[in-house]
Structure 1
Amino acid sequence: MSDFLKLDLFPRGSRQIVRMVLPWAIFAFRAFSFFTVVLILGLSVGALFAEPSAERCALPPSDEAPEDWTRIPYHESRPEFEPTESEKQRGFALFSRPLVDAVYPESRPGAEERVEKLAFFAAGNQFQTLNFAVYPLQELPSLRVSAGEFRRIQTLDGEMDQDEWLFPPENVQLRLVTYRGIRYPQYSSKTKQYRVLPEYLQEVTVTDAPVKEPQRYFLTFKVPSKMKPGIYAGKVRISWGRDGAEMRSAELPVELKVLGFDLLRDPAKHYSAYYYPPKTSDGQWDRERMEREFAAMRDYGFTRSPVYQMRFDGDGKRFYFPELDFWLELMRKNGMAGPIPTIGGGCSWIASYYYGGKFGKHIRVLTPPKEEFYTELARMCRELKKDVDALPEGTPEMIFGPLDEIAPESTEFGTRVYQAFHDAGLPTYTTKEPHDLSFPKYDHVVDIFASQVFAPSYAETVGRHKREYWCYPNHNSYERKDMVIMCKGGRMTYGFGMWRSGFDLLIPWIWRAGSPDHFDLETSSGGNLLHPETGEVIMTTYWECFREGISDLRYLYTLQNAVIQREGTQNAALNAEIARSRALLQEIWDSIVVKEKYLNRHLWESERFDAYRTRIAERIEALYRFSPVNKKTAPSVIIEPREIEWVDPFQAEFARRDTDGTIQSLPIPLERCIASEDEAKVEIVEGTDVPAGARNDRCVLLTVTVDKERDGSSAKGPYPSNWPALAGYVTKAEWETRGNVKPRGLLMRVYVDSNRTVNAGKTPIHAGVQPGGFSYTTPSELEERVWHTLFVPLENAGYDGMPPVSGLPQSVRLTISEGNHEHGDVLKLYFDEISFIW
């Protein structure tokens, strides 16, 4: 086995020696299950670590799905679990897996996931969460799981602790992962499908565990600053059985190594979220519940205020700030800084209600408002500026986002609204993607842009900074109800990906679900909850993974700061440690596969997150053995922020095989290709009409005429930007001629021509394949008037835990989004081959 990492988390010569040899990409602390999580500065004891009552069951109870809803079960691909005799005797097995890997009610443990002891490490000023699951081999009535005391049994030097310092019991929290029926596959899906997801974390003292339905527990420690370092040991007790019947029990040993340093925070990186305050029955803010939520936000890494909403007074025709004094008090109490992202005011509603405008979703202008609207808005903004200037000295700055995700075709309305705020001297932000053609048109009226995509180079992202550059990763926090996207993608987004991106603030939608009823099609499904009776903050499992990512970033920054404060010395031993630390940081930077969004493809293997964190901690400890030589503060990135070209292994394989002529394929006949949407036209061309360089003498031509003034879809609805497409198919009989082999991908040979003067050469093609629901968007950069061979993977492209597709894919839909192009653009896409390949 090649050594990836060797480190001793416990000193040699003691009775608690754990030596880990880690091969590349496998950080499986199987016997000792090392996990790492996040710790946030300044957490109050009462926020999420409240004293549990004597007996607590899972609340709220899982929704009962309406009869006309269909459950999409998680498909478990692991083999049946084979219990040992001792596991059979006690009635359950114990297992653990990386926190970012979900445990569904249908999940089965792997033999390598068995755990008989948990051990982990943490620094001061850190939340540390480890997890384990009870896998019932029979019905387990009245399953009780509780954590005992944790006392220091050993110093970092290996000396036995005579004082046995007690880890603060109020800083230890044990929560059960509770299952919930959640609309699927997206929070807003209208298909009446749901999946039972491991959604919530609740303090539960007793539950009934059905046979073979895992009961997963998160054990979280809040390590205070300057806590005495050393090894703290304790036990988790697991028992089951009704009162009066035979009780069976087991104990799970736990050891926590508290490291000898505190985690720092990068002062240039921040976290927030969109937030709507809870209301009382009379429509007022529920202040008591807001107190709890702000404390929880701080615990989960918020360094800045959540999004605040200003309001519009229809009688006085002015904007105002509801209960701002109380909001500022909550910020101060929880250590949140400004600026305050401020939305609301209802600009589009005002334009509609008073001035005749009509709007579709995401500020899509259907009927422009009267000119008087802009004059009145300018007046209200001038009055708003006076109100802002009158706020008490020291009030954090407010950054105004009057409109959200404005459609490209509504640029005139959007820029004029922002112009009113800008001319009044009010700083602004807007949600807009850099590939949106309207992005540069807002530059003169917007101070901060907020985007979703991480794909631009680090230099390009940093270069876009006017004041700051924000990111709203809704796909990780709420929109896509896929646990890989939310948990593993979320940890990457919040930690290593945030470091690699150049963004300053993560501000996802949304902190809390609008309704606990996840089957109400009028509301959204999933997200943190407030208990309807007690007001308890019930967190989701993926926010725990976000906090893991925040901790990853804090370990990175703590190491970078240690390096900067020790550079410039003549000490050879110290310089050697600095060089090793810089080499590790560069290795991590180079290993990150930058994605537009960190979803469920080409992420790190789950174990690598903790592997890197462990090596970072080792480097910090090595540097802290030496005193600082200066008081400098590290920037966010201290190594070379170079771009490493990463090649998708699938793309590389088929590019090679295309050259070698070893690809096997089933082509879609050109005659079966048809147009979809009015803006699309499909025809077969041949002879001299085929662009030079084609492999065949006949092509299918897709012509798209971008029309943003009318809806070309079959619905003929109010939204003019659509998705014209080419659709084609193969038959079952044709698959039989290929032996019904399962294809691995789709091959397209395409030549693009257009009349575009803006963004010529940017032509992303969205490929959808059925059955199977495969979805893939090709890289946007396609040089015009050149033949390109594109490979679309059909492997690892769907949502997590979907069963194998029954049958072979037959239909293909190649779509062009009008939103990526200007009105009047004409695109011609020649395809001389569209084939399933293997």
Structure 2
Amino acid sequence: MRNILIVGLLFASFLFVSFFFSLSAEAENIIVYVVPAITDDRILPKSSIPSSYISDTISVKASPGEFEPVSFVIRADQDINSMTIESTNLTGSDGIIPSTDVDIRTVKCWYQGSYNLELGVQGRYLTPELLLKDDSLIKVTGEDWTQWNASNPKGKNYLKLTNESYTDISNNTPQNSDFLMIPISQRPVSDATTLQPVTILKGYNKQFWVTLNVPNNANAGNYSGTITLRTGTEIIRQLQLNLQVLPILLSKPNLEYGLYYRGMITDQGSISSEGKTTAQFTAEIKDMLDHGVTNPNVYSRPNDDVLIEMLTIKNQVGLDNTNLYYLGLDFEDASKFPYYISMTAPYGVTNIYAYGPDEQNINETSSRSKMIAIHNVGGKVMNAQSLSQADSVAEILDLAVVYGDPSEELAAKYHRYGHKIYSYANPQVVPEYPRLFRMNYGLLLWQRNYDGAMDYAYQHSLGDIWNDFDYTGYRDHVFAYPTTNGVIDTIQWEGFREGVDDVRYLTTLQNAIRLAKSQGKDTSEAESWLANLKDSDLTSQDLDAVRLQMINYILSLQNQLNSTTTSTIKRD
């Protein structure tokens, strides 16, 4: 019996040692970098990455109900074929967060029309942008291009259709239509529902994007799990994923987030920014809500049945219909307001906004008379304006959606009249800069005392929406690319969501300060820090560090309160 035990132990030891050396040998063929997710520093397949990012551990803090991104890069020192990546559940002492809430995608680099903030096509620039489940959905010629800010005239993109064939989406033949609606039957494109195996060539990087969706009912505490990289049955690396679920119930942002949204429900739908099947429309509305947008506008005037269907879907998904930003109603439609007010009220609509002539001067007698007529029948008016245009109508325009760098002085003027001011085109939805969208549509709006944001646009297909080179004017405007049954998100869209979340943490902190002050607590340190942040230059700030400081002050204030009042710092 003793000999059997010895043989068994030796065999087990052999298996362990064999596995260890097999794992170590395979692991030597890759380097893992844990990199910032929301950054404007671009990682290309051949980029050099600082060794300070080398790590096998990913750590993140988030609150219940929050989506929080992290990212890592694998650099292969030999060809890695058909690598699979899976996450375990995240386990803690007080619960489990299922692996289905750990969403892993590849970051796809492909060729786009510019590398800076210009809206027009300037060349062909290799750009990280798409978040894919199936990395082979886009095939790229010229992945070895090393300069993100230099054009590669030979760079090409190809899109995989559902029949596994590829179509060229980078030709520069001008399209005749500003809003090319490609029938779904001609462009059947769909991403996978689960992360597909990935091949990485020797000497290349592959970036991955992990979004943690913390359940609303998750208990506060520390959770951990493992992200496993395999080729076949062999484990080549395991990454530790640590999540701290914060004891914070995030407030809704004290800003309103809308978007210009051109999508309209049609029978056939399309692969474009325009016609949508009910399934496409629903998927896009849910995607907007998941990114913090609660009130996209209705861009044109559908028939009544379609408008009711759209409002119904928005309600079902969870959007707020209180303000109906109805671009299909214009200055000439004052007589129609009572009808639409009555028709939309059952779907939660309280305020209907008509739209003035886009980006035009409305400070003249005819336009003012039309705005007064709309006010007289219970309606409101919104319009996209330049700073000078908006300044001239502050006392009569209910909502100015103002182009460019936000003006604190203009915001104060609108507020004196009880009116609102939103930001757009800072920038428009064109450049692939996540941090820029986070900053400009997050804390910058608070600094300038704006009431919200309504950028242009969730999608605007200029020619083929998947082709950045087939239109002689502007590039396509895309936060999320349309497919037959869903969307493919972009890194700049994830940056926008982080801006919304920054404002949610800010709002939660402001609420905590008010509550603590009402209980006679000392809030001077937090208030002083906020005052300094209000006047700071956000371009030089580490926005992750700012978020962390807001978290620390929220937790400190909660600790000062008794359990009864602590429980009232919650979502509004």
The TM-score bracket by the shorter chain reads 0.7 to 0.9
Q: 1:189 aligns with which of 120, 145, 158?
A: 120
Question: What's the C-alpha RMSD, in Å, of the aligned pairs?
Answer: 3.2
1:306 paired residue among 293, 296, 300: 296
Shift of 1:569: 4.1
Q: Give, in whole Å, the separation in 2 of the partners of 1:321 and 1:343.
A: 15
- 5+ unaligned residues in a row in structure 1: which ranges? 1-84, 153-160, 313-319, 348-376, 594-602, 635-838
Aligned match of 1:277: 263
Q: Deviations over 1:684-713 (max 9, x none)?
A: xxxxxxxxxxxxxxxxxxxxxxxxxxxxxx
1:183 touches 1:525 (CA, 8 Å); kept in 2? no
Q: 1:468 to 1:144 in 2, by over 3 A?
A: farther
Q: Does 1:227 align with 2:218?
A: yes
Shift of 1:174: 1.0
Pair 1:94-2:33 in alignment:
yes
Bigger share in helix: 2
Tell me how far apart the structure 1 counterparts of residues 317 and 535 of structure 2 sit (CA, whole Å): 36
Aligned partner of 1:149: which letter?
N
Equivalent position of 1:343 in the other structure = 327
Equivalent position SS for 1:104:
coil
Shift of 1:383: 3.4
Give the secondary structure class of the aligned counterpart of 1:545: helix
Q: How many angstroms does 1:415 deviate by? A: 5.1
Alignment partner of 2:230 out of 234, 239, 259: 239
**Correspondence for 1:120:** 60
**Shift in Å at residue 422 of structure 1?**
4.8
Partner SS, residue 336 of structure 2:
helix
Partner in structure 1 of residue 524 of structure 2: 579
Shift of 1:133: 1.1
Query: Does residue 1:381 correspond to 2:334, yes or no?
Result: yes
Residues 187 and 623 from structure 1, CA distance in 2 versus in 1: closer, same or farther, beyond 3 angstroms?
same
**Paired position in structure 2 for 1:619:** 553
The one-letter amino acid of 1:126's match is: E
Task: Answer whether contact 1:432 1:439 (CA < 8 A) is retained.
Answer: yes
TM-aligned CA distance change 1:129 to 1:420, over 3 Å: same
**Alpha carbons 2:263, 2:276 under 8 Å: kept:** yes
Provide the residue aligned with 2:69 in structure 1.
Answer: 129
1:566 paired with 2:516, answer: yes
Q: Counterparts of 1:509 and 1:256 in 2: how far apart (Å)?
A: 34
Mapped pair 1:497 → 2:428: no
Note the 1:681-692 alignment, pairs <5 A.
none
**Preserved contact between residue 231 and residue 257 of structure 1 (Cα < 8 Å):** yes
Within 5 Å, give how 1:306-705 maps onto structure 2: 306-311=296-301, 321=304, 323-337=306-320, 338-344=322-328, 378=332, 380-393=333-346, 394-406=348-360, 418=371, 421-422=374-375, 425-434=378-387, 436=388, 438-443=389-394, 445-457=396-408, 460-465=410-415, 466-479=417-430, 481=431, 483=432, 486-514=433-461, 515-521=465-471, 524-525=475-476, 527-533=478-484, 535-569=485-519, 574-575=521-522, 578-592=523-537, 603-605=539-541, 608-627=542-561
State whether structure 2 residue 200 is matched by structure 1 residue 209. yes
2-structure distance, mates of 1:632, 1:396: 31
TM-score (norm 2): 0.74
| Cα distance in 1, alignment partners of residues 549 and 381 from structure 2 | 41
How far is the alpha carbon of 1:626 from its aligned partner? 3.0
CA drift of 1:441 comes to: 4.3
Contact 1:236 1:252 in 2 (8 A): yes
Change (3 A) 1:322 1:402: farther
- Structure 2: gaps spanning 5 or more residues: 1-23, 134-194
Q: Taking structure 1 as reference, are residues 383 and 88 closer, same or farther at Cα in structure 2, changes over 3 Å only?
A: closer
Secondary structure of the equivalent of 1:143? strand
How many angstroms does 1:311 deviate by?
A: 2.7
How high is the sequence identity, in percent, across the aligned residues?
Answer: 18
- Partner letter of residue 94 of structure 1? Y
Distance 1:633 1:124 in 2: 16
Is contact 2:429-2:477 (8 Å) kept? yes
- In 1, Cα distance between the equivalents of 2:34 and 2:344? 55
Cα distance, 1:216–1:239 mapped onto 2, change above 3 Å: same
2:296 and 2:312 map into 1 onto residues whose CA distance is 13
Q: Is the 8 A contact 1:448 1:467 kept in 2?
A: no
Cα distance in 2 for partners of 1:255, 1:513 equals 38
Number of matched pairs: 470
1:136 to 1:617, Cα distance in 2 relative to 1, 3 A? same
Deviation at 1:425?
4.7
The answer as to whether partners of 1:478 and 1:527 remain within 8 angstroms in 2 is yes
Matched AA of 2:236: S
**CA 499–580 in structure 1, closer or farther in 2 if over 3 Å, else same:** same
Q: 1:613 to 1:166 in 2, by over 3 A?
A: same
Is the 8 Å Cα contact of residues 454 and 501 (structure 1) preserved in structure 2? no
Counterpart Cα distance in 1 of 2:502 and 2:269: 43
Distance in 1 between the 2:84 and 2:291 partners? Answer: 27
C-alpha contact 2:121 2:469 (8 A) present in aligned 1: no
User: For residue 108 of structure 1, what is the amino acid of its counterpart?
Assistant: S
In our comparison, the structure showing a higher alpha carbon Rg is: 1
Give SS of 1:141's match. Answer: strand
Asked if structure 2 preserves the Cα contact closer than 8 Å seen for 1:431 and 1:450, the reply is: yes
